[in-house]
Amino acid sequence: MAGVDLLFGPMLIGVILNMMLYGSIVTQMFKYFQRFPNDSGWIRLLMVYLFIVETANVFVECGIIYEPLIIKYGTLAAVTLTPKLLPIDSIVISLVSAPIQLFSAWRISVITRSYILSTIIALLSLASLGSGIDMCINVFVTREYGQFAAFTTTATVWLSLTAACDVVIALGMAHALYTRKTGFSTVDGQINRIIRLTLETGSLTAAAALADITLFLAMPRTTTNFIVDFPLSALYTISILAMLNSREAPKPEDSEQAHSAPQMLSNLHELSTFQARQTRRAYSKQFEDTKVASSAWTISQPPPTAPS
């Protein structure tokens, strides 16, 4: 069994990191609801759900470290038995990552007009959710730090599925957007920015999940992996908020258009209308794909018809 420093030190660091990320979540949530009041209702409800879960997670993780350091301080149970709230950790991560991954699968299906890749992502996400529940049960049953190695397989499957799903989402979204470039610098510049952000956020969450399982396998009798594990759910929430907030907010002077669609989608619509007037037959299919990709990114109602 590891010493006190390798049992409670990593957990305390993980709690501190998670609380720092929670501050970022609060700021990004406020920014999202202030800038995009006309997003679809179910998207806004998803953000509220994530905020509630992340808020509860802060209290849970504080309770996890509070039990051995305060309630059981100086007792043998503090260094041999895991905190009672620890099983909730894997459930929280799964309850946050799964909806975000399914949301990404929906975006890809809208952009590609195909359900093949989105179905693969959904299956990986649901499998990860099931593994997270199984992990929760194992941690609840196995209460001793020295027996952490007993659920090595479960932890490996759970976090590997999570990382694999994130990689598929990042690569799939990047390919879907790249193949729908229009040749116009304004539109392609926006698409390139979305691709970069998708790859960055996807690789961040995947790397965090892989680091979690690597530390767990390398030092199974310690809690070193909780340095990455505790803030993992917050990283997922920040990733989706970063993508949503990276859009251009509707301009106040264009309130009528802003009510039905964000400004970026309106600009794309104007470009497509202009091109259709010039070479309607040659580029009609190309601009239709661009409008679908933009709709999935901006997540809003269809833009108003441009004036003749």
How large is the average pLDDT for residues 9-34?
A: 95
Each domain of the chain, given as residue ranges in start order, spans: 4-249
Q: Which has the higher per-residue pLDDT, 179 or 216?
A: 216
Q: For the segment 264-300, what is each residue's pLDDT rounded down to a tens digit?
A: 444 444 444 444 444 444 444 554 555 555 555 555 4
- Average pLDDT value for residue range 68-87: 90
Residue with tokens 């116009």: 184
Q: Does the structure show a pLDDT above 60 at 260?
A: no
CATH fold, domain 4-249, is: Rhopdopsin 7-helix transmembrane proteins (1.20.1070)
Angle, helix 152-178 to helix 185-218, in steps of 10 degrees: 170
Buried b (16+ CB within 10 A) or exposed e, 26-64: eebbeebeeebeebeeeebebbeebbebbeebbebbebb
Q: pTM of the prediction?
A: 0.80
Q: Is 155 exposed, middle or buried (0-12, 13-18, 19+ CB in 10 A)?
A: buried
For the chain, what is the mean pLDDT? 82
CA atoms 5, 10, 13, 19: torsion sign: negative
User: Which uninterrupted H or E stretch holds 150?
Assistant: none
- The lowest-confidence range among 49-53, 188-192, 214-218, 243-247 is 188-192
User: For residues 15 and 6, what is the distance between their CA atoms, to the nearest angstrom?
Assistant: 15
Residue 227, judged by CB atoms within 10 A of its CB (0-12, 13-18, 19+), counts as: buried
pLDDT value at 301 more than 80: no
pLDDT at residue 10 tops 80: yes
pLDDT surpassing 80 at residue 192: no
